[in-house]
Amino acid sequence: DTAVSQTPKYLVTQMGNDKSIKCEQNLGHDTMYWYKQDSKKFLKIMFSYNNKELIINETVPNRFSPKSPDKAHLNLHINSLELGDSAVYFCASSQETGVLSGYTFGSGTRLTVV
Amino acid sequence: AQSVTQLGSHVSVSEGALVLLRCNYSSSVPPYLFWYVQYPNQGLQLLLKYTSAATLVKGINGFEAEFKKSETSFHLTKPSAHMSDAAEYFCAVTSKAAGNKLTFGGGTRVLVKP
């Protein structure tokens, strides 16, 4: 019944590895997002997709590549992981009219790069 | 450009006392404002939102917020704190011009003392 689900919940990996985080929503929303929350709890948008099309791409290293196979899924692939990538990554979704309804967030993926 | 400033990264209140969390925004167009709560190791949950209807907005768990355009503020209050209110609170802003992009403040951690 989870509205926005992310896997895995925890991810510990070594520097230089490539990893993926998956996100799925069952709310019928047409827009999905990735946010990064750093160690000071600051939340910053990374990407946004609307109906599988990239609409927001903030200043993010090109080692990060989102992929949206359909409007219910938005995955995040990270190449050549660095220590500074350690953070909690949140997936969220909204209707295109999300300005009025707000976002629904997943419970986050805590990535630790060692 | 839009931005949010939350005054006070930490707030400590006694159980039963008033909770007041301050949020000031900057937006060149009419804003839509949100408050989210994040419990430890969880995702963000929408508390309440202002979308240009009533300026006094009531949310879940007894919280409310008032939009004051003249002060560019959207402070969050709860008359009587409960132990379960201990969490991180985030104010966020967006607008139609921002294309659904939510910009978050730095968060305020609330500690409730018995």
Report pLDDT digits (tens) over B64-86: 999 999 999 999 999 999 999 99
What's the average model confidence in pLDDT over B52-68? Answer: 93
pLDDT in tens, A70-84: 989 999 999 999 999
What's the average model confidence in pLDDT over A59-63? Answer: 89
Q: Is B88 on the interface with A (CB under 8 A)?
A: yes
Q: Which residues contact A91 (CB under 8 A, 6 or more apart)?
A: A4, A6, A21, A23, A25, A32, A33, A34, A35, A74, A76, A105, A106
pLDDT score at A79: 97
Contact residues on chain B for A96, CB-CB shorter than 8 A: 100
Contact residues on chain A for B74, CB-CB shorter than 8 A: none
What's the average model confidence in pLDDT over A49-68? Answer: 88
